[in-house]
Amino acid sequence: MSTKLFCDHSPGLVHLFGTQQVSLDGVEFNPFTSPVKIEALRTAYPCLPFVFHASNVGRVPFSLMKLERYNRACRESAWISIHLSLIPSLVLFAAFRLGIKLPLAAPDRLESRFIQQVRRLEGKVDLPLILENMPATALLNNSFESAPTAIRRIISALDTGMLLDLAHARVAAEFQGVPIEAYLLELPLERVREIHISGVREVGGILRDAHEPLQAADYEILEWVLRRTKPEIVTLEYFREDQAALKEMLIRLRQSLDVCSPTE
């Protein structure tokens, strides 16, 4: 079975797909688009499956009903993908919205708390869960949650699949001062079911997941990973309105999949 190519929804994607300028196997949505809007977009992507990337929806308090609404709107989803984020949502909000750094519990306590949350969610949903690796940032001092040993340990404990975010992996590897290939080889690549890809950029001398257009290094890393994994889906995370860039990326990604993930 060949790997399918999905892309985040955007108005630019609607135009490119509607005018038959790109080939696509499905569309991924995130919590920034409402379930009602997702249903309305069915006519823009006729016959394409819709899947939902939950991020933290369902795991954080009082969000289970919201997750259920999204799953109904994206009923072709084969799994629920959530962030492997050990940082409490309040701490994330304070850091990224308010610029306030709140104290954190010890990493082992945060890990135990996360595992309990995921097990609780597993008991309330019908679809399997897959966990997405996170980047590291000095603002949170959270390199412990992007350490390959922690990722492997948590995924093994929960017996889930993995959503490998290549931009997150590049940021984490840079933060830890190791080559990206060495970082990736320490991850549970045998559990990868989906890959996210987006363009990174340096901001103030720090590598970030900027969701910018892909560069040569991004395609090289993807092809390196595809030769070592068997993902069912590769998803381009790009929401900007540069249609020329989006078209080029989707064409090149399809070429990479044709070479590295041929139909069996």
How would residue 262 be classed by pLDDT, with cut points 50, 70 and 90? low
- DSSP codes, 61-122: TT-HHHHHHHHHHTTT-SSEEEE---S-HHHHHHHHHH--------HHHHHHHHHHHHHHHH
> Does the structure show a pLDDT above 70 at 196?
yes
How would residue 140 be classed by pLDDT, with cut points 50, 70 and 90? confident
Contact 23, 48 (CB under 8 A): no
Q: Tens of pLDDT along 198-240? A: 999 999 899 999 999 999 999 999 999 999 999 999 999 999 9
Residue that the structure tokens 């995924």 belong to = 155
How would residue 137 be classed by pLDDT, with cut points 50, 70 and 90? confident
Average pLDDT taken over every residue of the chain:
95
> Does the structure show a pLDDT above 90 at 24?
yes
- For 4-260, give the CATH class: alpha beta
> Does the structure show a pLDDT above 90 at 95?
no
Per-residue pLDDT averaged across 143-171, rounded?
Answer: 98
Per-residue pLDDT averaged across 25-53, rounded?
Answer: 98
Per-residue pLDDT averaged across 233-262, rounded?
Answer: 95
> Does the structure show a pLDDT above 60 at 40?
yes
